[in-house]
């Protein structure tokens, strides 16, 4: 093959070296705009997985890299003078300049032609004269830009400012310095890369950056290779204690905003993207060099294994894109955490430390417990102390108060519509459904949305509390929970609004009933989506009736024996649609500004709160974002939550979306937790109000990690409890927890131990295992000789 590579960075050079080894007859040419010794940056970090791939593919490069590695296992976190160390991680880093030199020499030895200080020819010319064109030309890839219609790039420019520096202070581990300054929170990401130097990245929010005066050079145009000396001198002064008299090193060091690069397609006929041209991931979670070299490995392998170029490039994209997208999701969570780091200034140092470590959701409490048990115990003990508990037990089994209501643990069975009632009447199905979840150990079991009127139902199968017969039927359920379990039970009250009069979920969710429709109302005459009911705009008479219906239902809920009442103001139902600017287009005092859009939901909440005795908490569920342009965002959610807290909400249950059929949610593990986190830090925790996280939380490890990091006070799980009604009790067994937070019903107690599994007669190599354990170091520091 004739192969043209635009870009002589690590990814492009490594790909050239691999292809030349696979077939020396390949004619490979590389164009690099910079000189061979024009190396920007300082160190690069590799994972064990990447190094394993490099070792298998090119032992020469691997061995040369290994001789230069700085290796360590620790992460040090300094939070305003409080220092924490967590071990067992495993890192390897080296000088970027050394890596490039190795790769430059390797391709030269293999006969690859490299044109330094030379721009690559026009991409049309290259693809006409070569079998394959590899665009390894960086974040601002001219080739990607030229064929943007095909690759469909999306560039996400982030608000934080960062500057890439070095220092002759050789860190012994991965180092985070987090410092509260007079201008706001600043942080340093640092790590060693040799016996003489460390990478030293300073990052802060743009607002902090401006307040600190770093914008003094914003309008200046620095020549290529020059560094921002004003910034360097200021950084040396601010971080004088952390630098301990050592120098700050520069290398084309200027303030930057990180750009996340994504592409819908990675190849077009004989042109393929590699490295930063295809994708970027924030430096706090991944190395661009690492990802680029992994791309090179995969691309070379696919070209070698597949019969045609088309097959090979398709296989490369299929293999790498999901891996990169997973990394980018973690990196997105990490970069957003650092963008909002100022929110956590009030956290206790130990909780802040754990929060930082688990920011991307890739590292969890169980990960850390396995790697560094002593550190994990320290975090669990700090949480117990903050909760006023007597002993350090799994966080999910620490008791918690929602207003005057004490729960034995922090697990909630989330409201889930069952669509199984007749004329709003709960029956034996609901008794078994809710009763079994309470027997399963959850601290609080929530009903589905219980409708406050017949016309407030979502479907004909929804339950209600608009008459006394329904009240008495629910009393059977609450009596069972209270007499047979130590859990509590809450009711969620709601009105369907424009999403009402629809079919049962399994007959077509959100589709109008085929015959017996009832009239639906909304804040405006706007349908939820195409083919949905067109609601009538609610007038004053309608609003007064809704308030009265909520009050009557709340009074019946108290009489029915519920321990908690939740007002449903989420998921596009009536109160939620008043809150959302995409559903509420009113021009009266109930529409327009957020203050106006809040007016009616708060009227309902106030009326419910007044009707419910003070010993029963009233909570609210909100949608923290509408997931559509011009809809509510996480910033609006903070103000919505603040308003409900000021009106007496004992907890805020933070969900998202379902306000319009046009939504585009960013699904993923625990994907709604960041919304709960923001509300907790900015509104709820300072007011002593609890926050409930919900949404794709499926493991006890996730629950404990969320709680220990202070992102929420409780976790609500829905589908997980449908899969396993005894999920909470099983989580206790998995964690060897026995206590009041997870007491087994006496009838089930014989099953409280995990069932035995199959035996094996295999004799393990015990002495070899002992030697392996002796060789493992939880805390390995980089101490060059």
Tallying the residues shown for the chain, one arrives at 785
Number of Cβ within a 10 Å radius of residue 390: 7
Do 779 and 74 meet the contact criterion of CB atoms below 8 Å apart?
A: yes
Question: 103 CB contacts (<8 Å, ≥6 apart)?
Answer: 10, 13, 14, 17, 61
Number of Cβ within a 10 Å radius of residue 358: 23
Cα 357 from Cα 65, distance rounded (Å): 28
Number of Cβ within a 10 Å radius of residue 231: 25
**Whether residue 573 lies in the annotated active site:** yes
| Half-sphere exposure for 313 (CA within 13 Å, toward CB) | 18
Do 374 and 385 meet the contact criterion of CB atoms below 8 Å apart?
A: no
Distances (CA, A) of 224 to 40, 253, 254: 11, 10, 11
Cα 746 from Cα 727, distance rounded (Å): 17
Phi, psi of 372 (to 5 degrees): -145, 80
Cα 53 from Cα 56, distance rounded (Å): 5
Token digits of residue 711: 């992102």
Do 339 and 160 meet the contact criterion of CB atoms below 8 Å apart?
A: yes
Phi, psi of 693 (to 5 degrees): -95, 145
CB burial of 706-728 (b: ≥16 within 10 Å; e: otherwise) equals bbbbbbbbbbbbbebbeeebbbb
Cα 470 from Cα 692, distance rounded (Å): 28
Cα 106 from Cα 108, distance rounded (Å): 5
Return the CA Rg of the chain.
30
Do 77 and 84 meet the contact criterion of CB atoms below 8 Å apart?
A: yes
C-alpha angle 258-264-265 in degrees, rounded to nearest 5? 115
Active-site residue identified among 147, 528, 573, 700: 573
Q: Three-state DSSP class for 601?
A: helix
Active-site amino acid positions: 573
């Amino acid at each position: 093959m004739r192969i043209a590579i635009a870009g002589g960075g690590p990814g492009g050079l490594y790909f050239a070296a691999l292809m030349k080894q696979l077939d020396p007859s390949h004619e490979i040419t590389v164009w690099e705009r910079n000189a061979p010794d024009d190396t920007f940056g300082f160190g690069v970090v590799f994972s064990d997985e990447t190094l394993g791939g490099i070792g298998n593919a090119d032992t020469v490069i691997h061995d040369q890299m290994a001789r230069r590695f700085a290796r360590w296992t620790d992460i040090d976190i300094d939070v305003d003078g409080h220092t924490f160390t967590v071990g067992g991680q495993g890192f390897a880093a080296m000088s970027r300049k050394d890596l490039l030199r190795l790769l430059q020499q390797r391709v030269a030895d293999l006969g690859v032609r490299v044109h330094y200080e030379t721009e690559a020819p026009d991409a049309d010319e290259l693809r006409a004269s070569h079998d394959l064109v590899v665009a390894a030309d960086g974040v601002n890839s001219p080739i990607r830009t030229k064929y943007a219609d095909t690759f469909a790039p999306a560039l996400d420019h982030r608000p934080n400012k960062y500057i890439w520096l070095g220092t002759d202070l050789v860190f012994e581990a991965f180092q985070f310095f987090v410092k509260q300054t007079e201008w706001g929170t600043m942080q340093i990401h640092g790590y060693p890369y040799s016996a003489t130097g460390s990478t030293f990245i300073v990052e802060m929010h743009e607002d902090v950056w401006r307040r600190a005066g770093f914008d003094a050079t914003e309008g200046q145009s620095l020549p290529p290779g020059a560094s921002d000396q004003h910034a360097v001198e200021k950084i040396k002064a601010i971080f004088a204690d952390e630098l301990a008299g050592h120098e700050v090193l520069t290398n084309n060091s200027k303030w930057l905003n990180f750009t996340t690069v994504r592409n819908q397609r990675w190849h077009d006929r004989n042109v393929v993207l590699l490295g930063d041209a295809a994708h970027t991931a924030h430096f706090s979670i991944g190395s661009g060099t690492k990802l680029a070299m992994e791309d090179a490995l995969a691309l070379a392998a696919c070209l070698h294994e597949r019969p045609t170029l088309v097959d090979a490039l398709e296989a490369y994209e299929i293999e790498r894109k999901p891996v990169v997208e997973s990394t980018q999701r973690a990196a997105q969570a990490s970069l957003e955490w650092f963008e909002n780091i100022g929110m956590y200034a009030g956290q206790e140092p130990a909780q802040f430390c754990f929060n930082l470590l688990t920011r991307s959701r890739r590292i969890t409490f169980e990960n850390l417990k396995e790697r560094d048990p002593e550190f994990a115990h320290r975090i669990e003990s700090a949480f117990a102390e903050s909760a006023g508990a007597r002993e350090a037990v799994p966080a999910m089994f620490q008791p918690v108060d929602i207003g005057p209501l004490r729960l034995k643990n922090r697990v909630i069975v989330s409201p889930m519509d069952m669509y199984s009632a007749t004329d709003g009447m709960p029956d034996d199905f609901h008794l078994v459904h809710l009763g079994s979840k309470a027997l399963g150990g959850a601290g609080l079991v929530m009903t589905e949305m219980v409708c406050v009127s017949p016309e407030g139902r979502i479907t004909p199968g929804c339950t209600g509390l608009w008459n006394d017969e329904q009240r008495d039927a629910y009393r059977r359920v609450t009596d069972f929970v209270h007499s047979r379990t130590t859990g509590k039970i809450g009711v969620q009250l709601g009105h369907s609004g424009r999403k009402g009069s629809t079919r049962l979920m399994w007959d077509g969710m959100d589709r109008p009933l085929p015959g017996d429709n009832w009239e639906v109302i909304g804040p405006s005459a706007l349908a939820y989506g195409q083919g949905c009911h067109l609601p009538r705009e609610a007038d004053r008479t309608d609003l007064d009736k809704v308030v009265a219906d909520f009050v009557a239902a709340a009074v019946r809920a108290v009489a029915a024996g519920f321990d908690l009442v939740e007002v449903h103001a989420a998921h596009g139902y009536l109160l939620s649609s008043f809150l959302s600017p995409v559903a509420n287009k009113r021009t009266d005092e109930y529409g327009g500004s957020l203050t106006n859009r809040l007016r009616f939901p708060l009227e309902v909440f106030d009326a419910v709160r007044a009707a419910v005795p003070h010993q029963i908490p009233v909570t609210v569920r909100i949608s923290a974002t509408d997931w559509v342009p011009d809809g509510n965002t996480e910033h609006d959610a903070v103000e919505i939550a603040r308003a409900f807290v000021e009106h007496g909400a004992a907890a805020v249950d933070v969900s998202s979306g379902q306000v319009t059929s046009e939504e585009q949610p960013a699904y993923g593990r625990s994907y709604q937790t960041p919304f709960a986190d923001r509300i907790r830090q900015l509104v709820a925790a300072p007011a002593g109000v609890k926050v409930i996280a919900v949404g794709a939380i499926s493991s006890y490890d996730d629950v404990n990690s969320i709680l220990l990091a202070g992102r929420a006070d409780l976790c609500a799980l829905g589908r997980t409890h449908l899969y396993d009604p005894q999920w909470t009790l099983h989580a206790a067994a998995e964690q060897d927890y026995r206590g009041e937070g997870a007491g087994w019903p006496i009838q089930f107690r014989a099953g409280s131990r995990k069932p035995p599994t199959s035996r094996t007669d295999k004799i393990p190599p015990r002495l070899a295992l002992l030697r392996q354990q002796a060789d493992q170091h939880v805390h390995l520091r980089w101490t060059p000789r």
